[in-house]
Amino acid sequence: MKKLFAVLVAAAAAAAAGAPKGPSIAAKCARNRELNAKFAASCAEVRVWFKLEDSGDPPRFGVSYLCPNCNDTHERRASEYLNEDRPYEGAAFAVAADRFLVQDQHLLARWVDRFEIVFGGVKYPASALKRYPAEDALELKTAAPVKGIKPLEFSKRVDFTRDDAGVFFFSAREDGLSVCGVRGGAPADFTHYADTGADIAKTPGNAVAVNASNEAVTVSFRRRIVLGRDTFAPPAEWRGEPAGAFDGRWLETENRFLKSCVPLYLHLDDEDNRKNGFSRRYRSYRRDSESTDIDLVGLALPEGEVLAELRLDASKLSEIDRIEARFADGTKAPLEFVGAFGDYALAVLRFADGKAPPGVEPVRLDETAPVKRFLEPYFKVNAVNYNGKVKAETEYGVIEGYKTGRGGEPVPDVSGFSYNRGGGTTVMLCADGSVGGVSSDRRVGGSEYSSDREFVSAAKLAALVNGRDFDPQFAIRKGKDRVRVAWAGVETQRMTEELAREKMATALMSAAKTRGALVTRVWPGSPAAKAGIAEGDVLLNARLAKSHTPMPLQDEDAVEGFDWEAFFSMFGLDGDFPSGASPWPNVEGGVNRTFTRFGIGKKTVIAYSRGGVRKEAELTLEQAPVHYQTARRIKNKRLGMIVSDMTFEVRGYFKFDEKAPGVVVVKVQPGNPAAIGGLRPLEIITHVNNEPVSSAKDFARRVKGAAELTFSVRRLAATRVVRIELKKEEPEKKEGR
């Protein structure tokens, strides 16, 4: 049995000696026809019919197939075959009248309905007999010998020393037709991977390797081989195993991994009855589709800790009120929030007593260099929390390439690894059961994520967890500290062409590639005030003090001359409108979006225009005060309305001083007393029964139990009185949880 590495040396020597040019196109076509005629009777078709899982869900694995048009391998989901009620069709090479070698798609038996071998228009039922892991081959046995089939005969004469000697005869299906062809296979066509020290040659799958004498040498199902390690041995010399052994290893590895999965439940503080804008991926498997609580899967770490992906920005992260592990048997275990990382949507939690519950085992992280796993198999596992029971959706693959990750680290380019469904945790599981990495959203700022998920290697995970370099911006916070918006302390207005000309900022805005933002207010004592920024300045861009990459500053939220009547006619009386649609500035929008991406406490350089002259100011971003979007809100069911505390920007809009009374009408339900009485969203109630109201809590106290209410209401400069009669209040019934 000859090693392909020796062949490589001979081929390289021949090339160096100035080997003659290859045969003509006519000669190649003639050989192609000759090989087609010789091997056509040895090639049959395999059909694989899939079936639904026991749960009724379609299988979620991919099926690879050889495309004769581009001579490459593509993949289709098994669910597509099921939906179209048709089988996967591929090549089957006869090694005996009742035995055939096909490409191993690494399918569990529970996914396959039946195998069929088709030859001469006749269908023969078949079953899986053996697997050959090193060759990616599956051997099928038909129930009866296939009539007319000519089993392949293999030669040990491997002579690939000429450019025209090594070829692969392939068979495939395209548009329902059998397509056969020949592709060159001279081993001089290889790539040296310096990081691994290996020489890799590409080979077509589903093909017969042919020597210079047009004799079959072996059957090839691998797309890449390692020169000097992989051989062209005939199938009789392959080392096989019973087909069911693979299923056993797969399920054993999967079950061992599931012991490291922790079903997590996150309860959100929704006392203000607001939807918090969490991605629906977290609620996919909850019976209450309107719930804002989160179900997800964490990975158990040593010392009673858990790694979890929390795709939440800094503000929404603060809404978490309680974290628990909830298991299928009904047991619960509280967890504490330890910290979250700034670059990835990953956080570390800890069981309250410092110990993982019985049966939970820490994951094993494979911290070796990822390139050591080149061309090795792996499992892509998406672990999903189904009401406390973690289930695994697993696929098999081989690491065939790398890409550059964050920081220049080479990470496996595993196909479709961004897959993450229903709050699941997607993990690369090595064949030995260790974790090679996870899929995570990558943060690009305090409230935004990159469009693509990123592979985080096990070595990177270990460095993150052991380094404890948590970003304080991403933490669970209460009270006033829940506000995680960074600001410089300015209010801005959208720029127009007329304003740009008036402020002599047109050229500077064009150079900075920004639409700019006009400063209309600078709050006393704010970072901007201390840095010398003044009303009338035009903000251009901002950058972190240690960075040379500026980001444009522009305000697309601010509007002039807020039209109250148009606003009410657009959204109606129920007030169910976007949080930023208000006459006062949206503290979480405009230029503060950019500042929040930088983060609270970050030193920032702001470029601005004053009188047509470009200036810069360095300042440290601060946490914005409590504002309308984060103010305390209380719902009153009797009145059918929600009110909130009046915050600094609301007072500024109405020109109220800090001691002026009032609450903001957030929402009014149609058909309820508040709506019938004429109250509208975004109006200010300053007095209840001639008594000033200082907060939402104070308002709730003053209206409680009252049969008649008189409200003093203000909209802009106009004031009016609203009188409402209520039915006698009945004692509230306590509801069990």
What phi and psi, each to the nearest 5 degrees, are found at residue 224?
Answer: -140, 140
Residue-range domain boundaries for the chain? 1-239, 241-480, 485-555+590-623, 631-725
- With CA atoms as reference, report the closest residue to 377 among 440, 438, 428: 428
Most confident of 12-16, 56-60, 318-322, 690-694: 690-694
- Nearest by Cα to 520 from 649, 673, 689, 692: 649
Task: Inform me whether the pLDDT recorded for 315 exceeds 50.
Answer: yes
DSSP collapsed to 3 states, 357-379? CCCCCCCCECCCCHHHHCCCEEE
Distances in Å between the Cα of 732 and the Cα atoms of 219, 274, 455, 553, 637 are 77, 22, 52, 50, 11
What's the pLDDT band for 731 if we cut at 50, 70, 90? very low
Residue with tokens 């000696």: 17
Domain at 485-555+590-623, CATH from 3.30.70.260, 2.30.42.10, 3.30.1330.20, 3.50.50.60:
2.30.42.10
pTM of the model: 0.67
Mean pLDDT of all residues belonging to the chain? 80
Distance CA 181, CA 74 (A): 18
pLDDT of residue 484: 73
Strand partners for 360: none
Which pLDDT does position 396 carry in this prediction? 84
pLDDT in tens, 355-372: 999 999 999 998 876 667
Domain 1-239: give its CATH code.
Answer: 2.40.10.10
313 versus 52: the higher-pLDDT residue is 52
The mean pLDDT value for 635-642 works out to: 91
Q: What are phi and psi of 407, to 5 degrees?
A: 80, 10
Which one has a higher pLDDT value, 174 or 305? 305
Half-sphere exposure of 223 (CA within 13 A, CB side): 16
Strand partners, 410: 404
How many CB atoms lie under 10 A from the CB of residue 382? 20
Report which of 400, 426, 389 is spatially closest to residue 265, judged by C-alpha positions.
389
- Measured in residues, the chain has a length of 737
CA angle 69, 73, 77 (to 5 degrees): 110
492 and 517 Cβ atoms separated by less than 8 Å:
yes
Q: Show contacts of 104-108: CB within 8 Å, 24+ apart.
A: 104/131, 104/132, 104/136, 104/137, 104/138, 104/221, 105/48, 105/61, 105/63, 105/64, 105/138, 106/246, 106/396, 107/48, 107/61, 108/247, 108/250, 108/251
The pLDDT-based confidence of 526 (bands split at 50, 70, 90) is: very high
The per-residue pLDDT for range 381-416, each reduced to its tens digit, is: 888 888 888 888 888 888 777 777 777 777 777 655
d(CA 671, CA 640): 8
Who contacts 77 (Cβ-Cβ below 8 Å, separation ≥6)? 60, 61, 62, 63
CB burial of 31-60 (b: ≥16 within 10 Å; e: otherwise) equals: beeebeebbeebbbbbbbebeeeeeeebbb
Q: Indicate the pLDDT class of residue 322, thresholds 50, 70 and 90.
A: confident
Q: Is the pLDDT of residue 22 over 90?
A: no
Q: From CA 488, how far away is CA 375, in angstroms rounded? A: 52
Q: What is the DSSP string of 632-679?
A: -EEEETTTTEEEEE--HHHHHHHT--TT---EEEEEE-TTSHHHHTT-
**Whether the domain at 485-555+590-623 and the domain at 631-725 fall into the same CATH topology:** yes
Select the highest-mean-pLDDT range: 11-25, 271-285, 318-332, 611-625.
611-625
| Cβ atoms < 10 Å from Cβ of 478 | 9
CATH number of 241-480: 2.40.10.120
Rounded-to-integer distance, Cα 503 and Cα 500, Å: 5
Q: Which CATH architecture has domain 631-725?
A: Roll (2.30)
Distance CA 253, CA 245 (A): 12
Contact 702, 693 (CB under 8 A): yes
Residue 208's SS3 state is strand
Q: What is residue 12's predicted lDDT score, i.e. its pLDDT?
A: 36
